[in-house]
């Protein structure tokens, strides 16, 4: 009797296969294939194939394959935990960026030593090559099987519930399923409620590491119990894992909170959670960044304005922020009326435009503002300068005619590219489209979205579409920059807005004398100056280019005997506009040099008998080490040129 076959579409081509086959048999020859995308849905290799199925293999070293491996690692970790702590109650265990985690309810909190024991137990489970087998159940069966797991019971009863912001619900979908871990004798040794997919077996799990412990409220709500969260990561091999762990260690060294304190840049105090205190050196850095911003905007024909920090509620109702953003706004009462501390600069910018009539000849009108804004963030979400409650937005609003849209967007892209290139960042671009809670007509949204697409196409700029993530008043282009560690940060944005000019009744007199409504661009380059400073601290590891450095030169007298000459050198540096200081400590010169290096100071001027006698300075730099003796005037001329051109001088040798 002939073997029954079915026809499937494999990588776009029709193929005849045995009727009772699964992916395990079909892809047995290729050990790198660990799952399939079946009719568009990711499935494990044990899934039975049917006639007409569209099959695409998922390989281990792909993005999807890595996510599946890390998901499987969460199950292995949870199994190991329950073998060591049988009383542990399971929460959820999703894959996140660069790794995974699982939440547990345990009587005794985990310790770093526990992580080592859990890792050892995981290795045993991996070596035993247990297979992951999916089993579909009814809700009643699931409730019975998870009777001793209160968190799983809650999820079963509320399948569409929103979980922790980092997590996706493990059981949402059309059907409930378990994944059983089956040993080589066919016995189920562990199970978890999960939709999958998973690796064919634990033996396919590559190199892994449990990285840290944290507390996490169940379902992300402070009203719920605090659970114990174990984070981990996994890669296809040990070399990739080690490279990742090395990056994490380097990131810890570069942590802007650590360096900000060591370099005396800013303080984060309990008296103002989320409200950073900038110290003198931090203000020097911030002002250098602002001076650069003002310089490039002046050259690009922007004007600068300043709008009030507090404005009445009616303004925010008209702008749409009251309906769409009020939970993140601080409010107060003045003279019995509701007022809001601004979370955005745009309504103020609109009022500036509306304060006087405009002609088509004035447009485009490019209006910049370094505006301090306040937004309510949960205390647990605060993170150094990256997530704060008040920050300075380097905003600008461009008011223009419809025929000017493409050119203005191209101009803004050019300006943002200039900024990122200055700091050595590369970037990619994302187009975010209309969200669910938007305001405005379909026609306006279509015109705005097409305007952004047309500009990107004219620039031949590749972009990713991020569906439904636009602002409530318009679509946007987001710029994601990459730092020296390869991490990405969303900073610059361009938002095209047809709504706010309509809401506020903005007009200009057209060439034919009619009154027309302008179109508005909202855009930022840095995003938040505070956050951008945090990124720069980590990108440069605190070793800023000379033009940005809070202290550009430190004068180092060899002993107190040469302090007077050192003070004279300092005075001339300051008179030339160079940010300089002198080390007056009664220490040896080697100590002073080490201190200056730890403070990441670009230039050290050593002065002693020879220097005083010849009227010169001995120059040491962070870039080249010993640069020899120079006349002070020559040194000042060179460093002023470097600062004026905002050079990013490269390190040649360790100082």
Instruction: Give the CA radius of gyration of the chain.
Output: 30
390 given a catalytic annotation: no
Count of C-beta atoms within a 10 Å radius of residue 463 = 16
HSE-up (13 A, CA, CB side) for residue 64:
17
Tokens 């010993």 correspond to what residue?
Answer: 626
The residue among 301, 276, 273 whose CA lies nearest residue 286 is 276
The SS3 assignment for 597 reads: helix
To the query of whether residue 630 is one of the catalytic residues in this protein, the response is no
Contact present, 52 and 23 (Cβ < 8 Å): no
Torsion of CA 360, 364, 367, 373, to 10 degrees: 100
Residue 330 is given by DSSP the state E
Assess whether 476 carries a catalytic annotation: yes
Cis before 364 (ω within 30): yes
Q: Is 71 a residue of the active site?
A: no
Catalytic residue among 103, 192, 395, 478: 395
Which residue in the list 71, 133, 192, 346 is annotated as catalytic? 346
By the 8 A CB rule, do 79 and 90 touch? Answer: no
Catalytic residue among 89, 229, 374, 476: 476
Three-state DSSP class for residue 325: helix
Q: Which residues contact 596 (CB under 8 A, 6 or more apart)?
A: 554, 556, 583, 604
Q: At residue 326, what are phi and psi to the nearest 5 degrees?
A: -60, -25
Helices (H), 255-312: 256-262, 280-299
Residues 6+ apart with CB under 8 A from 303: 365, 366, 367, 368
Contact 150, 89 (CB under 8 A): yes
Q: Among the options 133, 375, 554, 620, which is catalytic? A: 375
> Which is the catalytic residue, given 393, 404, 495, 499?
393
Which token pair is 294? Answer: 């003002």
Indicate which residue of 152, 204, 522, 600 is catalytic: 522
Told to judge if 162 belongs to the known catalytic residues of this protein, a careful annotator would answer no
Which of 384, 56, 47 lies closest to 198 in space, CA to CA? 47
**Whether the Cβ atoms of residue 130 and residue 189 lie closer than 8 Å to each other:** yes
Q: How does strand 603-607 pair with strand 553-557?
A: parallel
Strand bridging mode 176-182 / 131-137: antiparallel
310, 342 Cβ separation under 8 angstroms? yes
Nearest to 206 by CA among 236, 176, 229: 236
Closest CA to 142 of 182, 165, 175, 113: 175
Q: Which of 610, 551, 609, 614 is nearest to 583 (CA)?
A: 551
CA angle 578, 289, 418 (to 5 degrees): 115
Q: Token pair of 104, please?
A: 């547990």
Residue 31 is a catalytic residue: no
Q: Which residues does the annotation mark as catalytic?
A: 346, 375, 393, 395, 397, 476, 522
């Amino acid at each position: 009797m002939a073997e029954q076959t079915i026809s499937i579409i494999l990588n776009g081509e029709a193929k005849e296969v045995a009727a009772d086959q699964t992916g395990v048999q079909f892809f047995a020859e290729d050990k790198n294939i660990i799952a399939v995308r079946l009719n568009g849905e990711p499935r494990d290799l044990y899934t039975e194939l049917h006639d007409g199925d569209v099959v695409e293999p998922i390989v281990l070293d792909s993005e999807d394959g890595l996510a599946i491996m890390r998901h499987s690692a969460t199950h292995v970790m949870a199994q190991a935990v329950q073998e060591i702590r049988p009383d542990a109650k399971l929460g959820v265990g999703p894959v996140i960026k660069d790794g995974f985690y699982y939440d547990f309810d345990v009587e005794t909190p985990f310790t770093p030593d526990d992580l080592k024991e859990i890792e050892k137990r995981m290795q045993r489970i991996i070596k035993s090559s247990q297979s992951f087998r999916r089993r579909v159940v009814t809700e009643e069966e699931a409730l019975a099987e998870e009777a001793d797991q209160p968190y799983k019971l809650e999820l079963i009863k509320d399948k569409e519930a929103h979980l922790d912001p980092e997590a996706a619900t493990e059981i949402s979908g059309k059907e409930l399923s378990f994944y059983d871990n089956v040993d080589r004798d066919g016995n189920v040794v562990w199970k978890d409620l999960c939709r999958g997919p998973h690796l064919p077996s634990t033996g396919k799990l590559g190199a892994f590491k449990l990285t840290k412990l944290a507390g996490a409220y169940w379902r992300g709500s402070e009203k719920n119990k605090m659970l114990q969260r174990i984070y981990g990561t996994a890669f296809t091999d040990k070399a990739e894992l080690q490279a990742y762990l090395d990056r994490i260690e380097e990131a810890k060294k570069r942590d802007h909170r650590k360096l900000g304190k060591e370099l005396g840049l800013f303080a984060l105090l309990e008296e103002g959670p989320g409200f950073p205190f900038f110290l003198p050196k931090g203000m020097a850095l911030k002002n250098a960044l602002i001076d650069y911003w003002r310089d490039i905007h002046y050259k690009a024909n922007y004007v600068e304005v300043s709008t009030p920090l507090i404005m009445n509620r009616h303004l925010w109702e008209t702008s749409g922020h009251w309906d769409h953003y009020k939970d993140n706004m601080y409010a107060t009462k003045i003279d019995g009326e509701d007022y809001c501390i601004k979370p955005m600069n745009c309504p103020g910018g609109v009022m500036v435009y509306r304060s006087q009539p405009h002609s088509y000849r004035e447009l485009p009108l490019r209006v910049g503002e370094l505006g301090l804004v306040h937004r309510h963030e949960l205390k647990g979400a605060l993170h150094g300068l990256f997530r704060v409650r008040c920050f300075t937005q380097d905003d600008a609003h461009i008011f223009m005619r419809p025929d000017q849209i493409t050119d203005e967007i191209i101009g803004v892209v050019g300006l943002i590219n200039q900024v990122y290139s200055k700091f050595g960042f590369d970037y990619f671009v994302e187009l975010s489209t209309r969200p669910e809670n938007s305001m405005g007509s379909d026609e306006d949204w279509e015109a705005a979205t097409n305007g952004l697409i047309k500009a990107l196409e004219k620039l031949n700029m590749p972009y990713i579409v991020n569906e439904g993530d636009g602002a409530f008043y318009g679509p946007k282009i987001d710029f994601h920059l990459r730092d020296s560690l390869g991490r990405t940060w969303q900073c610059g944005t361009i938002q095209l807005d047809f709504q706010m000019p309509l809401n506020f009744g903005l007009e200009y007199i057209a060439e034919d004398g009619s009154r027309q409504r302008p179109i508005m661009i909202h855009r930022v380059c840095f995003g938040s100056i505070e956050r951008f400073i945090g990124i720069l601290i980590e990108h440069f590891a605190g070793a800023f280019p000379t033009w940005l450095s809070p202290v550009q030169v430190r004068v180092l007298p060899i002993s107190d005997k040469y302090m007077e000459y050192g003070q004279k050198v300092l005075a001339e540096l300051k008179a030339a506009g160079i940010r300089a200081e002198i080390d007056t400590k009664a220490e040896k010169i080697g100590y002073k040099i080490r201190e200056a290096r730890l403070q990441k100071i670009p230039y050290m001027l050593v002065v002693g008998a020879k220097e005083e006698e010849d009227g010169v300075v001995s120059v040491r730099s962070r870039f080249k080490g010993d640069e020899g003796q120079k006349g002070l005037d020559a040194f000042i001329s060179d460093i002023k040129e470097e600062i004026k051109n905002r050079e990013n001088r490269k390190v040649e040798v360790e100082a």
